[in-house]
Structure 1
């Protein structure tokens, strides 16, 4: 596993995405590895294989003077495939590496860090689109209630974090990196630094706003302790040690709350809560362009997948409730 991911798992890596001088490509690779490990539950051996493959890719691109996936073109990836052949790798190993590259590109598209996939024109005929997993509103409520039931200031913190994921559609990296200066309660807005260091403004709803207010007033001071005035601790969300929360730490807490709420852990993640935010907005009648702006998607086609989720929910409703639906046999 990459050093960046190991450091983050230990809680020693800063929430600042620019910390340590890591390149944009390296940070993107670390983000994918963390997602595969925590959200998708892949084995340590599989994660190591992905890490090795991505290291080969980074090394090759670095030799071509590229440290940002947004600058990668078809010629660069074709050169990488040729590089693997020249190294004498078996066909199975080359195929696995290219799968890892495709997974990285898909991750970059989903996170809004890549507008055009350089492999788009090289792909085989499209398979049926995989819909993002999501949660029902009552399941989110159960998750929040489970988080609120634990002892200590971590309860208020976790409730506020879940409310922001579901109520504002933040990425987990944006959530843990949110500074105190990014919250404007007077106007009810969040200023978020997203992918590509792009700033966007997101409305802060009543429920999320109330949870954040309660956390900042009652819980954060207890977590910050005497470190409250230091510049590094100007992150909104702090760990028990008074340091900025990491993605790994929050993912772990979220899974614990899912178990407490009786929800399958493979259906609960920061990304799923972000999906639930978008899906529920769309079903409530929100304009797709408005959702795109709030999610920080560079490409509207990335946002359009939520129209498929909404249609799937409508189909399920008809099948379950309509007299002629598949779920009604009598």
Structure 2
């Protein structure tokens, strides 16, 4: 159903399978199965997850999977009750997104340039790194969206690029001049591969894997003098959003660019706006302006009396 009706991505299907398997293993120890699970059995499973040290966010995601599974059973007439309705969702921890400073992003991009005298393999690896990081940072792409980009995704003079995101939803994202040039340089270098992907893997008919890209990002981070533990494709996506907001982007526009279905997801980035909002209020709020005018007038009056 998830694949046929909701067009769920392979990674989403794999995650659901892992969640169902985790629940099934726990239920088996209680003498139950997924088909006849009880509320008590599901509570025992949630307790197992907490005892294993899994975060509240992970527990909440896994519980969401089981809730959807039980609702599916109910709708299909496979059972007459829903044992997951009375289960409480753990409140997730409030964590701020990790992001890089603008200078750190620039250092990463500069570290992609291969050293003089580098082999052809290292030269191409640098082109891949540069094109990928430019696109991730300039367009806020998810790594799955980046690696799935076809060769025809961007034209030579294209200013926008069509991306297929979660749930098969499509959106237009902007292309910076440097990102387009980096991608075109990679396309020219890979012309003989005749791959359908912008970022081909070892087998040109397949896209590059996340693991292969993680190795490239790790090496670039070391060359840039950054701790690789701080780096991930999603950190670059967070950096894209954080820097846009810091420079005055609208939250609604950012939601569209990131492909978030709910603006509540986008609101995690508002932490960067605190100082900017304080300045806006001080400069434009009528009470703030009135207070400053009153202070100026009082100071002027005192000076006149003096």
TM-score (norm: length of structure 1): 0.61
Report if aligned partners of 1:156, 1:215 keep a CA contact under 8 Å in 2. yes
Instruction: Give the distance between the partners of 1:91 and 1:253, measured in 2 at CA.
Output: 37
Report if aligned partners of 1:258, 1:265 keep a CA contact under 8 Å in 2. yes
Per-residue Cα deviation, 1:170-217 (whole angstroms, up to 9, x for no partner): 000000001123224434111111000111111111121111122112
Secondary structure of 2:173's counterpart equals strand
RMSD over equivalenced CA pairs, Å: 3.8
Instruction: Give the distance between the partners of 1:291 and 1:136, measured in 2 at CA.
Output: 18
Per-residue Cα deviation, 1:130-167 (whole angstroms, up to 9, x for no partner): 11000011111111222222622121111000000000
Q: 1:81 to 1:237 in 2, by over 3 A?
A: farther
Gaps of 5+ in 2: 28-32, 65-83, 116-121, 279-306
Instruction: Give the distance between the partners of 2:158 and 2:45, measured in 1 at CA.
Output: 59
- Alignment of 1:294 with 2:278, yes or no, is no
Secondary structure of 1:24's counterpart equals coil
| Equivalent in the alignment of 1:24 | 8
| Equivalent in the alignment of 1:135 | 100
Q: 1:281 to 1:153 in 2, by over 3 A?
A: same
Secondary structure of 1:304's counterpart equals helix
Secondary structure of 2:249's counterpart equals coil
Of structures 1 and 2, the larger Rg is shown by 2
Q: 1:258 to 1:29 in 2, by over 3 A?
A: farther
| Equivalent in the alignment of 1:147 | 112
TM-score (norm: length of structure 2): 0.66
Secondary structure of 2:207's counterpart equals coil
| Equivalent in the alignment of 2:151 | 180
Secondary structure of 1:152's counterpart equals helix
Structure with greater contact order relative to length (CA < 8 Å, sep ≥ 6): 1
Per-residue Cα deviation, 1:270-325 (whole angstroms, up to 9, x for no partner): 0000001111111111111111001000000111111113438999xxxxxxxxxx
Question: What is the aligned residue count?
Answer: 240
Q: 1:94 to 1:164 in 2, by over 3 A?
A: closer
Report if aligned partners of 1:220, 1:237 keep a CA contact under 8 Å in 2. no
